[in-house]
A and B are shown apart, each in its own frame.
Chain A
């Protein structure tokens, strides 16, 4: 175990946000899901007690009949905001006094940094470069992620869960987003803590070896099946990708219609909403981990080979 190497990475001032994320994301996930569980429990109680459901104020926080429903922004909200700005300002001052922003040598096109890493928030895309060609990892995937995020509210046909934390009423939407968010953070984590010189995979705690040469023979799926000429490689690849979309689509369909409640939500979904959700769920949420797995486990580089592009 090379703790020195791990400390060098973890203590780099520019990596502070990633270390912070490792604590912040679990904390806020816990904070959100704790309230979701409380709300779900309340919903369960009220479902079983119609009389109570009619009179209950339907929040897990205390409530007394003589309390007003609303409070004045001045001072009740403004004091919270004021406090928040003070805390953030103090935090920034402490952070800025204790840690210096990195400054390397002057830029030099003749001296390549190794490893040369993107800013931490784009490390997910850089890590994706291992599994996809630049046109997918750098252009198509980010575009799909942005459009997919923007489409999110339009494909979610579930009318429940507006304005309160819940898990039971919105399992599909919440888990779809959390899965994507988790993957994004995980790729950033890999890019920061695991990728070393030459973008070689070094497990946390192993020493970065600048001379490490990896004799990794990457193979293409069509070649593994003995198909070595075009256009058969392209045809084979299209069939495999098509089969992936069909199977993944079936799996996703089973998952989102698992329970009686989910089926009810599915009934409300229009065909267009359903297809758009399927497309983004397969193309972003599933293709990424699948490509990662077949690369890391089976050393397969391309699935679809054409004269113009490979996937």
Chain B
């Protein structure tokens, strides 16, 4: 800190004096005491406290945030670009892209809900055993004894439901604004996979309380896998290809021929580890591609029908500058 500077030079000066005098241990101690006295003087402490009043000037703040935040273009850009959480954003965007009526904000809200679900999900994992008999009791314990346990479970469930809705609405907006068109086709496909994973995340979580609701929903859901063509024992050409209830695709999903302990463990692993990891990787690609494909698609100036180029031209170039 700046207040240290005069003190340091002083100590050097006294050090050289000491050498001249050539005194021993006692003088040295006296010197240190003098220094401490100077540092603890009222003026010095006041100055140090004065410096703490502006946290942005402290070494701790500078070490964390790297740049000052001032209403200057340079500072605003650096604030976004040098922050790991914000750097997915560009420094500047289309002035109309912040309008809720255009974006609906559904993609961002979906991502925020994923974070909420990860947070509440990790907390829930502290209280949950994915074993038959224990799982249901854990939910009862969570609802009655764990502080805020009921709130935690409710929030996890409702956030999951909300995430399904926001994903659909995000997709709906992308279609209505034609945002899936060149060069964003591939990112749309990643988005479709993320939609499927969102539904699967929700579905695998359904069984975990091990109650009648989840048990029968998963029974109904996985019974459909029996009918997989060629891979299910009740599907077209399944029996002909040697499928039985003990080796078909449903067996692989459940880890058995009925919804039981293995199915509970499998859906737990899919729900808490496998799908979130896959979804996180796809999300990274999804967000990265949004930037690489030129940021969010609009709101763009409209193109007129008469400006459409003849077939063969890859894309219509904007005539407006």
User: B228 touching A135 by the CB < 8 A rule?
Assistant: yes
User: A107 touching B139 by the CB < 8 A rule?
Assistant: no
Total chain B interface residues with beta-carbon distance under 8 A: 112
**Which of A39, A111, A119 is close to B202, meaning CB atoms less than 8 Å apart?**
A119
Stretch from B21-29, B34-42, B178-186 that touches the partner: B178-186
User: B158 touching A95 by the CB < 8 A rule?
Assistant: yes
Cβ contacts A134-173/B at 8 Å (1 or 0 each): 1111111000001001101110100111111110011001
Q: How far is B111's CA from A84's CA once the two chains are assembled, in angstroms?
A: 12
Total chain A interface residues with beta-carbon distance under 8 A: 109
User: A17 touching B304 by the CB < 8 A rule?
Assistant: no
Give chain B residues whose Cβ lies under 8 Å from the Cβ of A154: 185
**If the complex has contacts A108-B212, A159-B315, are A135 and B185 also in contact, measured as CB distance less than 8 A?**
no
Give chain A residues whose Cβ lies under 8 Å from the Cβ of B180: 152-153, 156
Q: A122 an interface residue at 8 Å Cβ cutoff?
A: yes
Give chain B residues whose Cβ lies under 8 Å from the Cβ of A2: none
Give chain B residues whose Cβ lies under 8 Å from the Cβ of A111: 212
Q: How far is the CB of B32 from chain A (nearest CB, A)?
A: 48
Stretch from B1-9, B47-55, B162-170, B276-284 that touches the partner: B162-170
Q: How far is B151's CA from A89's CA once the two chains are assembled, in angstroms?
A: 13
Q: How far is the CB of B176 from chain A (nearest CB, A)?
A: 4
**If the complex has contacts A20-B165, A24-B169, A47-B305, are A117 and B92 also in contact, measured as CB distance less than 8 A?**
no
Give chain A residues whose Cβ lies under 8 Å from the Cβ of B226: 134
Stretch from B12-20, B58-66, B100-108, B267-275 that touches the partner: B100-108
Give chain B residues whose Cβ lies under 8 Å from the Cβ of A106: 136, 210-212
Residues of chain B having any CB pair with chain A under 8 Å? 73, 76-77, 79-80, 86, 89-102, 104-105, 108-109, 112-113, 116, 136, 139-140, 143, 150-151, 153-159, 161-162, 164-165, 168-169, 172-173, 175-182, 184-185, 188-189, 192, 195-196, 199, 202-203, 206, 209-217, 219-221, 223-229, 232, 234-237, 240, 258-259, 297-306, 308-309, 311, 313, 315-316, 319-320
Give 26 CB contacts A-B under 8 Å.
A14-B161, A28-B173, A54-B319, A69-B94, A72-B80, A73-B89, A73-B93, A85-B112, A92-B116, A96-B154, A96-B155, A104-B212, A106-B211, A107-B136, A116-B216, A116-B219, A122-B203, A126-B220, A134-B235, A135-B235, A152-B188, A153-B188, A162-B303, A163-B300, A165-B176, A309-B237
Please give 7 more A-B residue pairs, beta carbons under 8 A apart, in addition to A72-B80, A152-B175, A163-B299. Answer: A47-B305, A74-B86, A96-B151, A138-B227, A159-B303, A264-B308, A309-B236
